[in-house]
């Protein structure tokens, strides 16, 4: 009789230990941590305690994620309210930079607008190359990862050579791209391909709506 036969027998006879309960204390197995011989019942209790500890760790992790998401939601809400209260382009511009840099702690923020009915003075309305236009137009969701566009990275000015990760968010009006919001960091792990983009997408949508309201 080999081990697989024993396993099969026990699986086919789940009431075996009900009829031979003394075996639960007579059988000896190794302690998973010390290696000492213990009863099968003790080994089962240890396994249950380990399982409970694992579940407690997972629960604590979920609570941590929940608290983090609550914090991000609060920041997005503050940004939304400020954008709604902004009465002109300069106010919108101030809100974008202030909230992303101060509230969201994004070190470097820039954006460009093209094909708008109205324009203003400032770097946000400087001409952009076709590569940027095509890239932003093809984005189905924000791009997060290593710097992908040299021109867009240059928007960060002297700090551009230090940028190691970026988030590039298309700004759209009726499904048509009219600009792009860029966020950059010296930390290569700040923006990465596998990160969730739900909040970044919502920020892009709110910034787009605010800009369209003022620029057409």
For residue 67, the Cα-to-chain-centroid distance in whole angstroms is 14
Mean pLDDT score of the chain:
86
Q: What are phi and psi of 193, to 5 degrees?
A: -55, -35
Residue with tokens 């910034």: 207
**pLDDT attached to residue 68:** 72
Where do the H-state alpha helices sit in the chain? 3-12, 16-19, 23-26, 40-85, 89-98, 130-138, 150-154, 198-215
Query: Which of the residues in the chain have pLDDT under 70?
Result: 21, 24-29, 31-33, 35-41, 43, 64-65, 67
Judge whether 90 and 214 are in contact, CB under 8 Å. Answer: no
Domains of the chain, first to last: 1-69 (no CATH), 86-215 (3.30.450.40)
Q: What one-character DSSP code corresponds to residue 124? A: G
Length of the chain as a residue count = 216
**Residue 137 to residue 180: CA distance in whole angstroms:** 9
Q: What is the pLDDT of residue 38?
A: 60
CA 44, CA 31: separation in Å to the nearest integer?
Answer: 10
pLDDT in the model for residue 37: 61
Summarised one tens digit per residue, pLDDT across range 175-186 is 899 999 999 999
What are 59-74's pLDDT values in tens digits? 777 776 676 777 888 9
Predicted pLDDT at 31: 67
């Amino acid at each position: 009789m080999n081990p697989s036969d024993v396993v099969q027998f026990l699986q086919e006879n789940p009431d075996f230990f009900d009829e031979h309960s003394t075996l639960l204390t007579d059988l000896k197995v190794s302690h998973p941590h010390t290696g000492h011989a213990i009863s099968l019942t003790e080994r089962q209790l240890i396994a249950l305690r380990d399982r409970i500890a694992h579940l407690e760790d997972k629960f604590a992790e979920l609570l941590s994620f929940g608290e983090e998401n609550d914090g991000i939601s609060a920041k997005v809400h503050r940004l939304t309210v400020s954008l709604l209260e902004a009465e002109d382009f300069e106010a919108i511009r101030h809100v974008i930079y202030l909230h992303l840099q101060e509230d969201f702690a994004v070190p470097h923020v820039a954006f460009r607008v093209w094909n708008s009915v109205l324009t203003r003075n400032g770097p946000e309305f400087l001409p952009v190359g076709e590569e940027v236009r095509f890239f932003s137009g093809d984005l189905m969701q924000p791009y997060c990862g290593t710097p992908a566009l040299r021109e867009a990275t240059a928007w960060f000015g002297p700090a551009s050579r230090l940028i190691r990760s970026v988030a590039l968010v298309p700004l759209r009006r009726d499904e048509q791209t009219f600009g792009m919001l860029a966020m950059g960091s010296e930390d290569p792990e700040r923006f990465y391909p596998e990160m969730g983009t739900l909040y970044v997408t919502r920020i892009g949508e709110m910034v787009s709506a605010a800009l369209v309201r003022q620029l057409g």
